[in-house]
Amino acid sequence: MDEQDRLTAGFEGHRTHLRAVAYRMLGSLGEADDAVQEAWLRLARSDTDEVRNLGGWLTTVTSRVCLDMLRAREARREEPLDVHVPDPIVGRADGADPEQHALLADSVGLALLIVLDTLSPTERLAFVLHDIFAVPYEQIGPILDRSPAAAKQLASRARHRLRDADPAPDASHVQQRQLLDAFLAAARNGDFDGLLAVLDPDVVLRADAGAGPLGPSQLVRGASEVAGQALRFAPIGQHARPALVNGAPGLFATHHGQPIAVLGVTIQHARITEINILADPERLRRLDLTGWDG
């Protein structure tokens, strides 16, 4: 095996992990792929004779690329994004998904990704690397051009802001699916009281419709208001099918073979506390739905 083959094999052995890191950093599958590709290009151009831990080296490079992308995104953004749903990972409800999707979706709820979008680039990197991937602060500091103590402070600040985001579900997947099925049935049947029965009083609905026909995008709070919106979009519910959305029970709606919406929920205490919907046609077309057959 020559040097190029060795590098290629080594990189491919870490690709899934790097994509998982980049997805958590960026909340975009397309941008995550771009970051991983850039890491490969940098590897191909580098002298790796002194690299003793290729996985760690690639994670560092990918993290730096993601940091640059986050900073560029922040510089372009004139106003905060009030309604933005990160790219969801959609899988079959029976869990028969590619191994790569299972890794990406594990413990990466849409609700957590949404709150990660509110962090500064340095806070996000420090939190993701340390709290999700157990990278020590001694390695995170140099990526940020900070001391390990400063990196620890950034992660702590992020942790404080994320404290109530994406709580661990207190129900099994079966119980979550049953609650979501009840929500879907009530929406389809125009049952306002049935919707109220499964919604938390302080439920939040976030619908990212982009420039599509289901727009405008909206942020709705409160059970009555969310139930009203659910009734408005009841026709979409007729096309919805059970799915796994970022590893948790969700819904995937198609019409004439084209995706029209992906819905993910957060459930606590037998109530739906958050509903996140991506209905942006352009972004839906870019999702990797390989192997999805409902």
Is residue 214 scored above 80 in pLDDT? no
Confidence of residue 231 (pLDDT cuts 50, 70, 90): very high
DSSP strands (E only) in 137-257? 199-208, 218-221, 240-245, 248-255
CB 264 within 8 A of CB 169: no
Reading the block at residue 84, the tokens are: 């933005």
Which of 134, 111, 159 minimizes the C-alpha distance to 265? 111
Q: How many CA atoms lie within 13 A of 143 on its CB side?
A: 32
Q: Mean pLDDT check: name the lowest of 234-238, 244-248, 256-260, 290-294.
A: 290-294
Q: What is the mean pLDDT of the chain?
A: 88
Place of tokens 């699916």: 177
Question: Between the CA of residue 212 and those of 27, 256, 260, what are the distances in Å?
Answer: 21, 16, 9
Confidence of residue 38 (pLDDT cuts 50, 70, 90): very high
CB 159 within 8 A of CB 131: yes
Place of tokens 């939040």: 204
Q: In whole angstroms, give the CA distance from residue 64 to residue 70.
A: 10
Residue 72 has a pLDDT of 94
Taking the model in full, what pTM does it have? 0.88
Residue 41 has a pLDDT of 94
Examine residue 216 and say whether the peptide bond preceding it is cis (omega within 30 degrees of 0). yes
Q: In whole angstroms, give the CA distance from residue 113 to residue 115.
A: 5
Is residue 100 scored above 80 in pLDDT? no
Q: Which domains does the chain have, with CATH numbers?
A: 1-77 (1.10.1740.10), 173-285 (3.10.450.50)
**Phi, psi angles (nearest 5°) of residue 262:** -125, 130
Q: How many CA atoms lie within 13 A of 286 on its CB side?
A: 15
Confidence of residue 96 (pLDDT cuts 50, 70, 90): low
Say how far residue 177 (Cα) sits from the centre of its chain. 20
Between 170 and 202, where is the model more confident? Answer: 202
Which residues on adjacent β-strands are paired with residue 278?
Answer: 208, 262
CB 129 within 8 A of CB 140: yes
Lateral strand order in the sheet of 218-221: 90-92, 240-245, 248-255, 258-268, 271-278, 199-208, 218-221
Residue 116 has a pLDDT of 93
